[in-house]
Structure 1
């Protein structure tokens, strides 16, 4: 069963993700604080079929686009993210790209699908420059390569210190399909060149 498969995989992942949701370096690489706005959104795509909540789609489908209307995000070309040698979540290589943690469920499967992007990078506003502005009730739509769209509704928006990141809450098993949007936030540490916190949006399939 998908629930049991993810529970087994999640247990192994939790042993590796020992620091923070998007790692010590996610959203960094810029000496500037978070930007106040992101680039304007492209036109939203036409309606597509809803994503099945219990079907195993991993073998034939991956997330390819993300729309978050409340913060003017429309991004395509999502990349696969893995783990760094230290066991933290890897990050995209530029400000304009978002990534899917490829060890997490495909959006629409049972468990928490994880998407991460920079808040800014080399003084360029990142995809998640305004993630901290999301509110409970805001929606996010993930388009998959099989043509289906998984629509999620935020039920929690939090900022966590990287030194006390709740790995199990973010990556742990869930009863149904969920989504996590992760970036950096809080104060920028001029010494370490990293942000001190992570912003995480928790959402459920609707």
Structure 2
């Protein structure tokens, strides 16, 4: 997306034969997320409904109520994502918030990013990782995310060199105007992983894809 660096936005730039591929990583509008404080407990607003990766701006639904979680040690920071079945092997860039409240985009098309104010992978709750689907020159890091199937394995390496392993449970598509934010981003008693990008029909007038693809996985 041509303006993804501003807020996960894309143009349809590929040749016609490639135009059917889903596009981009994740745009998420956060309601009042605070700064991350080490060794403390803080209130974290969840991403707003419709948290997608649309082109340009997307009209999103209302925010999900905030929840609390303990901050976690830097040793558990995720630094690398591997999904062997779809040949993904990427460093992970921490993503914060833009001044307008939207999630920052990964600075490179082939690098995914994790929401640093959210849960670290392997800790209780939903950890969120977003990535681009295409670029001006072709496929990007999550171009094959839609090919994942239940039972396939996702590996995340952390700063202390430990590796946490997730098993894919579900691959779902949601319209951005009816995105189940409470389910995707809400509190969970066990560690879960969400991998998010765009999919569905492309709205040429709005320069936006109409749906999000959400892959959910559990720690094993």
Determine if the TM-score, normalized by the shorter chain, exceeds 0.5. Answer: yes
Give the equivalent residue in structure 1 for 2:165: 151
Note the C-alpha offset of 1:84.
3.7
Q: Does 1:115 align with 2:147?
A: no
Give the Cα separation in 1 of the matches to 2:97 and 2:141: 20
RMSD: 2.3
CA distance in 1, matches of 2:194, 2:84: 16
Give the corresponding residue for 1:173: 187
Listed as ranges, the gaps of 5+ residues in structure 1 are 27-54
CA displacement 1:84-127 (0-9 Å, x = unmatched): 44544332233211001001111111111111001112242111
Q: Of 130, 155, 161, which residue of structure 2 is paired with 1:141?
A: 155
Give the equivalent residue in structure 1 for 2:96: 82
The 1-side partners of 2:202 and 2:125 are apart by: 31
Three-state SS of the structure 1 residue aligned to 2:142 is coil
Q: How many residues align?
A: 168
**Alpha-carbon displacement from aligned partner over 1:128-182 (angstroms, at most 9, x marks no partner):** 1011111111110000111011100011110111111111111111111111101
Using the alignment, how far apart are the partners of 1:24 and 1:83 within structure 2? 16
Match of 2:110 in 1: 96
Structure 1 CA distance, aligned partners of 2:164 and 2:55?
Answer: 28
CA apart distance, 1:23: 4.4
The alpha-carbon deviation at position 19 of structure 1 amounts to 3.9
Q: Could you say which residue in structure 2 is the equivalent of 1:49?
A: none
Q: TM-score, normalised by structure 1?
A: 0.73
Segments of structure 2 that go 5 or more residues without pairing to the other structure are: 1-39, 57-69
| 1:21 alignment partner, SS class | coil
Would you identify which runs of 4 or more consecutive aligned residues in structure 1 move more than 6 Å?
none
Work out whether 1:204 is the aligned partner of 2:202.
Answer: no
